[in-house]
Amino acid sequence: MRRIAVVNQKGGCGKTTVSINLASALAEAGQKTLLVDMDPQSHCAVGLAVPEEQIEQSIYDVLISNSRNEPIKLTEILWQIGDRLELAPASIDLSAFEQQMVGIVERECCLKAVLDEMKDEFDYVIIDCPPAVSLLTFSALRAATDVIVPVETG
C-alpha cells in the first residue's frame, strides 16, 4: 500500500484540491483508495459532498482512542464515496490533538499504526495535511511512503 502525504505549511496552495483529485483519479483507475483528512478544517468532506452534520466520528476519534488503548477501528468512521474511494473525515477536534497527545511515547507514529492495520484493504492512501508544521503533519509524514508538496509558482 502506497501512502502519499500532501503537505505544505502554507494554506491555500492546493493541498486539499490535489488530495481529492488524486484520490478520485486513483479510484477511477481501479485502485482501492482511502483519503484521510488530517486538517481540522475538514474540507475533504465538503469537497466530496459529505454532510458535515452527519459525521459522528472522525480520524481524531480513531487516533485518540488508540492512544488510550480503547481503539475505535478505522473502518467504523469511513464514508464510502464511490466503488473504490473511502474517506476518513476530519473534525475540528483535531485542533486539540497535539495538546492531548503530550506525554504519549512515539505519538508521531499514531497514524502509521492505524494505517498499518489496513495495509491489505487499500492500494493507496492519500493524506491531506493541515497548513501547519504540527504533530498532525509529522504523523502524516511518518505514515507516508511518498510526499507531494503543492506550491504556487510565479
Asked which of 1-5, 14-18, 140-144 is least confident by mean pLDDT, the reply is 14-18
Residue with cell 492546493: 14
Residue at 73 is within a domain:
yes
Q: What is the pLDDT of residues 37-83, one digit of tens each?
A: 999 999 999 999 999 889 999 999 999 887 777 889 999 999 999 99
State the total domains in the chain: 1
pTM given for the model: 0.93
In this structure, the strands spanning 79-80 and 85-88 are: antiparallel
Residue at 122 is within a domain:
yes
Contact 146, 7 (CB under 8 A): no
Looking at the predicted structure, is the pLDDT value of residue 11 above 80? Answer: no
List the domain range (segments joined by +) for residue 47. Answer: 2-148
Residue 43 belongs to domain with CATH number: 3.40.50.300
pLDDT band at 153 (very low <50, low <70, confident <90, very high): confident
Q: Compute the mean pLDDT over every residue in the chain, rounded to the nearest whole number.
A: 92
93 CB-near residues (< 8 Å, 6+ apart): 40, 58, 60, 61
| More confident position, 124 or 109 | 124
Looking at the predicted structure, is the pLDDT value of residue 94 above 80? Answer: yes
Residue at 14 is within a domain:
yes
Residue at 154 is within a domain:
no
Residue at 153 is within a domain:
no
Instruction: Identify the pLDDT of residue 101.
Output: 79
Instruction: Identify the pLDDT of residue 152.
Output: 80
Q: How far apart are the first and last CA of the chain?
A: 35
Per-residue cell: 152: 504556487
Instruction: Identify the pLDDT of residue 62.
Output: 94
